[in-house]
Amino acid sequence: MSIWEHIRTYLINGQRLALMYVIQSKGSSPGRQGFSMIVDEKGEMLGSIGGGIMEQKMVELAKSKLTAGEFPPFIKTQVHRKVEANQSGMICSGEQMIAFYSLDTVHITLIEKVIACYDTGHMGVLELNSKGILFSENEVLNDPFSCAISNNQTWIVKQQLGYKNKISILGGGHVGLALSITMRQIGFYVEIFDDRRGLNTMENNLAAHKKHYVDYADVGKHIPEGDNSYVTIVSFGYRTDKAVLKTLVGRKYKYLGMMGSEEKVKKVIEELIEEGISKEFLSSVRTPIGLPIASKTPEEIAISIAAEIIQVSNQ
């Protein structure tokens, strides 16, 4: 459950919250820009703004503000070295600026829009300013985070929310299930495809945002191209892998990988070349898929694939 879903639960139950959001960070600050945390009136908390004694002090501050009643937005600077003002008590260097907001039932609709943004795979913009919090649906920023701070009384911060990257997992078996879990954990929008209805690993897959039952020979039309589209072929056999690859010919993805032993991969590639598929396209397929870490179990294979995808996405 995301922090936004937790916020919704608290607010629906009539509980007030303090939201702390790191709107700016410099140097080796443990709390990075975009880190967030909620605190209720009892001092129960979720999330993090950097940890340590600094976080403990900020939690106590948030709790005291909540106890006193509704409070206007304010920001607090924390410097992680010995200084005369705003010393956090930590010595890791760097500094961060934290915005504090009071949340109650009035904010439920806004929070539900944020949650829907993630559920549908769309994108939106969260704005934190000196007057409150706003959310714009279906808006895309040039930069994922923009920050304009005039002083402690005037600031506007905008952050892109939603899933920047989408992974299409072709194959709903054990590896597909493990990969769904891993890729969702690292912030991808996950869609999984298979042609076998009633497959238990598909039915038990709660990590994928969307599940599709399709003919592998037509699956290409269901997968968007682009620099934010990642495709993994982890189906149950070489014939289905081959069918999938044929339907993806000519399409452009940030990442395209196929699982299989060296012998299986060699056979698939040779047959596709004989059928007229270009060597240029086939050379773009990362196969055998994943980083070579001697992975054996579905979970280990999923980690090796995720690691290779992270490597590609960060290049």
Listed residue (40, 37, 46, 150) closest to 99, CA to CA:
37
Listed residue (246, 295, 53, 314) closest to 305, CA to CA:
295
- Distance from C-alpha of 205 to C-alpha of 173, rounded to nearest angstrom: 10
Cα 64 to Cα 42, 91, 102: the distances in Å are 10, 26, 12
| Cα atoms in the Cβ-side hemisphere of radius 13 Å centred on 46 | 14
- Distance from C-alpha of 108 to C-alpha of 158, rounded to nearest angstrom: 20
C-beta separation of 222 from 247 below 8 A: no
C-beta separation of 107 from 11 below 8 A: yes
Predicted pLDDT of residue 7: 97
Class assignment of domain 166-313?
Answer: alpha beta
C-beta separation of 54 from 78 below 8 A: yes
Cα 252 to Cα 227, 267, 283, 310: the distances in Å are 8, 23, 13, 18
Predicted pLDDT of residue 5: 95
Predicted pLDDT of residue 120: 84
What is the DSSP code string of 132-155?
-EEEEET---SSSEEEEEEETTEE
Question: What tens-digit pLDDT sequence spans the chain (315 residues)?
Answer: 689 999 999 999 999 999 999 999 999 888 899 999 999 998 899 999 999 999 999 999 999 999 999 999 999 999 998 887 878 888 788 889 999 999 999 999 999 999 998 888 888 999 999 999 999 988 888 888 999 998 888 999 999 998 889 999 999 999 999 999 999 999 899 999 999 999 999 999 999 999 999 999 889 899 989 998 999 999 988 788 888 888 998 899 999 999 988 888 888 888 888 888 888 888 888 988 999 999 999 999 999 999 999 999 988
Residues of the chain with CATH 3.40.50.720: 166-313
Strands (DSSP E) contained in 122-245 are 123-129, 133-137, 145-151, 154-162, 166-170, 189-194, 210-213, 226-233
Predicted pLDDT of residue 159: 94
C-beta separation of 191 from 169 below 8 A: yes
Predicted pLDDT of residue 28: 87
- Quick: pLDDT tens for 227-250: 989 999 999 887 888 888 889 988
One-letter amino acid for residue 79 of the chain: V
Strands (DSSP E) contained in the chain are 17-26, 36-40, 45-47, 74-79, 95-103, 123-129, 133-137, 145-151, 154-162, 166-170, 189-194, 210-213, 226-233, 253-258
Rg (Cα) of the chain, in Å, rounded? 23
- Distance from C-alpha of 278 to C-alpha of 227, rounded to nearest angstrom: 21
- Distance from C-alpha of 55 to C-alpha of 157, rounded to nearest angstrom: 21
- Distance from C-alpha of 223 to C-alpha of 248, rounded to nearest angstrom: 9
Predicted pLDDT of residue 87: 82
